[in-house]
Structure 1
């Protein structure tokens, strides 16, 4: 009687090699997709942080500028103008809050406008500092800018918001600026209560 000789198997079959390659490919694809998603998320977070920081800087800058108006006897130009002639509103105002010490320095003319999806805050020196370079802060991309002012209340009427400001040598009670980033349609407005012109400003 002949005995079947058992042979030890060496190596892999073709089917096993194909299965191993397929599993490895799937694992690498999954890892690559996870890494790509993580990188994309990190980039989005960084972009959001940069935009939020820039937005905060512009808000702080505008708040300081708006709170410090020159005295009416210091200037001949209008203290504050809301211009809606070109469709998108722009805001122009005079300020002594561009450089420290705020409220006691030179008078600057500040313009806030939306240009080519960029919110631009441009402060131009006047008077004795007329030769100094303008200061410019930008924020982008911004899709919309809106400006409202709160008029002063009287004994007969409550303060109301309006789209323009017709009084050249006075300023409204408060001002509200709203701008929207491309990815944020519900931005919080910047609302600044303005210091009265007839009392000292800090």
Structure 2
């Protein structure tokens, strides 16, 4: 009987095993990286959604306690209607309110500005004379459009994209926030609740 040679792996078998192992590791790494990217995107979207909810609440409170103004008096509500070359509405609103710092309706007047640009939705509330506190600023990324409409008083009032008398606040306002995907999220508020039954 002849002695048997010990059997081992050939070079081809070793190379094939290394290639298959490399492919498995690469696929596993890609799956993990995809999961991490998805988690990051979801976290970013959640943060944007939470920021928008917070800013919407601040806008709603400010609108509910907007100063009514008097005809011929100082400016209390200004609406600038803007549209980009792509047809996206990027309006800007400035109004006076007592709804930024508690107790709402009794605090000093604040000047609130809401607009949108390439960075997102901006909310800026600056204290007026006699108002304590510091400027409140918030930016919500991901908001690409803002369409604001206001309505006056009376039965014949309709929603308008402009406001002709800045010395008097409208009866109601609607803010439609849009994102890059084209989705809109409207906010409708009645202004100056303390003067209305």
Shorter-chain TM-score above 0.5? yes
The offset of 1:132, in angstroms, is: 4.9
CA contact (8 A) 1:69 1:197 kept: no
The offset of 1:197, in angstroms, is: 6.2
Q: 1:51 to 1:149 in 2, by over 3 A?
A: same
The aligned counterpart of 2:61 is 64
Question: Which consecutive unaligned segments of at least 5 residues does structure 1 have?
Answer: none
The offset of 1:11, in angstroms, is: 2.5
Inter-partner Cα distance in structure 2 for 1:198 and 1:102: 13
Deviates more, 1:50-59 or 1:86-95: 86-95
CA contact (8 A) 2:78 2:163 kept: yes
The offset of 1:70, in angstroms, is: 3.0
The offset of 1:107, in angstroms, is: 0.4
Is residue 140 of structure 2 the alignment partner of residue 142 of structure 1? no
The aligned counterpart of 1:16 is 13
Inter-partner Cα distance in structure 2 for 1:17 and 1:171: 80
The aligned counterpart of 2:127 is 125
Question: Which consecutive unaligned segments of at least 5 residues does structure 2 have?
Answer: 85-89
3-state DSSP of counterpart to 1:124: strand
Q: CA RMSD in A?
A: 2.5
Q: 1:190 to 1:199 in 2, by over 3 A?
A: closer
Is residue 176 of structure 2 the alignment partner of residue 178 of structure 1? yes
Q: Aligned runs of 1:1-202 on 2, under 5 Å?
A: 3=1, 5-70=2-67, 72=69, 76-84=73-81, 88-129=90-131, 132-154=133-155, 157=156, 159-182=157-180, 184-196=181-193, 198-199=195-196
Aligned length: 191
The offset of 1:92, in angstroms, is: 0.8
Inter-partner Cα distance in structure 2 for 1:29 and 1:86: 48
Q: 1:59 to 1:163 in 2, by over 3 A?
A: same
CA contact (8 A) 1:89 1:113 kept: yes
Pair member with larger Rg: 1
Deviates more, 1:173-182 or 1:20-29: 173-182
Specify which structure has the bigger relative contact order, considering alpha-carbon pairs within 8 angstroms and separated by 6 or more residues: 2
Residue by residue over 1:5-56, the C-alpha shift from the partner in whole angstroms, topping out at 9 and shown as x without a partner, is: 2515343111210121111011111101101111111111111111111111
Q: 1:116 to 1:197 in 2, by over 3 A?
A: same
Deviates more, 1:102-111 or 1:8-17: 8-17
